[in-house]
DNA sequence: TATTGTGTTATAGATAATATATAACAGATA
DNA sequence: TATCTGTTATATATTATCTATAACACAATA
C-alpha cells in the first residue's frame, strides 16, 4: 500500500497524503515518471473522498513534487522540487525555533536532536 | 512587550502565546516564580479575548511550564517541564520525519539542518 | 467591610478549515 | 463508443478557533 491514513490523527488527511508522497520520493520508492493512483482509486483504497486526494495532489503540484496531466494521470516530477528551497528553509526555520526552544526548557541536549536528524537522514535519504 | 501576535499567521493565536512563553523560558527572560500577566491584562495588551489567553495558559499548565493559582495569578514553574520529555521527543520525531523527508527531496544537505539547530541552540539556550 | 482582581464557568455566535456526497463536464485513451 | 482522467459545481456536516457577554467564587487589599 502506498499510504496508510490515521483517522485519529490531528494531522489533516490531505497532509498525511502529501507527506506520504514526499516521504516516498525521499526513500526512492517513488521516482520521476512514476504514476500515482487516480484520485478515485487512491480515495477508495484508503477510504477517503476523491476531493481529499485531489487537494493533496494540488498541493504537491504547487510545491513542485508532481505533475498533473489532465485526462492522463498524475506523475512524480521531483525535478522541480529542488528549486523552491527558499520557502522550505523559511518555514523549517520557524518550526525548528519552536522545537529548539521547547527542547531547551525540557533540558534536551542538542546532541539528542542532532542524532534524531542523522538517523532520519540515514533512513530516508540513505540511497542518495 | 512579552508577546507579539501575528494575526495573519496560520499558527493559532493561543499557540503563538504558548510558544512565546516557552521561548521566554528558554531564553531566560522568564524564570521560575515570575508572574505572567492576568488573562485579561495580556488579552487587552495584545488585542485578544481573555478566553484565548486562558486557552494558552491551560495548555502551558498541562505541559508543566506554568502554575495557575486560582484567584492569585499565574507563574512560571518550569521545574515540571523537565519531566514530560517522552511525549515531546515522540511528537518531535514525527515532525522531524516530515521535515527531513522533504529536505531530502529538495536536496538540502543534513549539514544545513544541523547548522540551523546549532544556531538556534546558541541563540535560545546560550545562557544554560 | 466593601472593592478590586484573580481564574473559572456558562452561553452564544461567527468564521474558517476539513471532509464528505453527488453530479456533471471535457478530453485523452482504448 | 465506452472508460478513465482531472476538474468544476453545489451542498452539507463537523470541528477548531476566536470573540462576546455575563456571572461566579475566592484571595487580597483599601
CATH number, domain containing residue A30: 1.10.10.10
B84 and chain A in contact, CB less than 8 A: yes
Residue B2: its pLDDT value, please?
Answer: 85
Look over chain B and give the mean of its residue pLDDT values, rounded to a whole number.
94
CB A58 within 7 Å, strand D: yes
pLDDT at position B127 is: 56
Q: Is residue A7 part of a domain?
A: no
Q: Indicate whether A2 belongs to any domain.
A: no
In this structure, are B36 and B52 located in the same domain?
yes
Write down the pLDDT at residue B78: 86
Q: How far apart are CA A92 and CA A44, in angstroms?
A: 33
B108 touches chain A (CB under 8 A): yes
Strands B66-69 and B73-76: antiparallel
Chain B residue closest to A77 (CA)?
B105
- Tell me what pLDDT residue A128 has: 56
Look at the pTM and tell me if it is higher than 0.85: yes
All three cell numbers of A70: 489532465
pLDDT, position B84: 77
Are residues B30 and B55 both part of a single domain?
yes
Q: Which of A23, A34, A100, A127 to probe by mutation at the B interface, max B CB count within 10 Å?
A: A100
Bridge partners, residue B73, by sequence: B69
Same domain, A27 and A64: yes
| Parts of chain A with a pLDDT under 70 | 126-128
Rounded to an integer, what distance in angstroms lies between the CA atom of residue A2 and that of residue A25? 11
Looking at the fold, whether B46 and B95 belong to one and the same domain comes out as no
Residue B2 resides in a domain = no
Q: Is residue A6 part of a domain?
A: no
Contact B114, A114 (CB under 8 A): yes
pLDDT in tens, B46-66: 999 999 999 999 999 999 999
Verify that A58 and A90 share a domain, yes or no. no
User: Does B103 touch chain A if contact means CB atoms closer than 8 Å?
Assistant: yes
Q: Tell whether B19 and B62 lie within a shared domain.
A: yes
**Residues A35 and A71 grouped into a single domain:** yes
**Average pLDDT of the segment spanning B57-80:** 94
D27 C1' to A104 CA distance, Å? 35
Full domain range(s) for residue A58:
13-80
Minimal C-alpha gap between B45 and chain A (Å): 23
Classify residue B107: in a domain, yes or no. yes
Number of domains chain A contains: 2
Does A38 reside within a domain?
yes
C-alpha cell at B41: 491584562
Residue B5 counted as domain residue: no
Cβ of A104 and B124 within 8 Å?
A: yes
Could you count the other beta carbons within 10 Å of the beta carbon of residue A32? 11
DSSP per-residue codes, chain A: ------TT-SS-HHHHHHHHHHHHHHHTSS-TTPEEPPHHHHHHHHT--HHHHHHHHHHHHHTTSEEEETTTEEEE-GGGTTTTHHHHHHHHHHHHHHHHHHHHHTT--HHHHHHHHHHHHHHHSTT-
Q: Does A45 fall in a domain? A: yes
Report the percentage of chain B scoring pLDDT > 90.
88
Final residue belonging to a domain, choices B64, B80, B96: B80
Residues A75 and A97 in one domain: no
Amino acid at each position: 500500500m502506498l499510504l496508510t491514513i490515521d483517522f485519529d490523527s490531528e494531522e489533516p488527511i490531505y497532509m498525511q497524503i502529501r507527506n506520504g508522497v514526499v516521504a516516498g520520493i525521499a526513500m526512492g520508492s517513488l521516482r520521476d515518471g512514476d504514476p500515482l493512483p487516480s484520485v478515485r482509486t487512491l480515495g477508495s483504497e484508503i477510504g477517503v473522498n476523491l476531493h481529499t486526494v485531489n487537494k493533496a495532489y494540488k498541493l504537491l503540484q504547487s510545491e513542485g513534487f508532481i505533475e498533473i496531466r489532465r485526462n492522463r494521470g498524475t506523475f512524480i516530477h521531483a525535478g522541480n522540487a529542488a528549486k523552491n528551497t527558499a520557502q522550505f528553509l523559511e518555514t523549517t526555520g520557524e518550526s525548528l525555533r519552536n522545537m529548539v526552544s521547547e527542547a531547551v526548557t525540557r533540558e534536551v541536549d542538542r546532541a539528542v536532536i542532532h542524532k534524531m536528524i542523522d538517523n532520519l537522514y540515514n533512513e530516508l535519504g540513505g540511497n542518495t
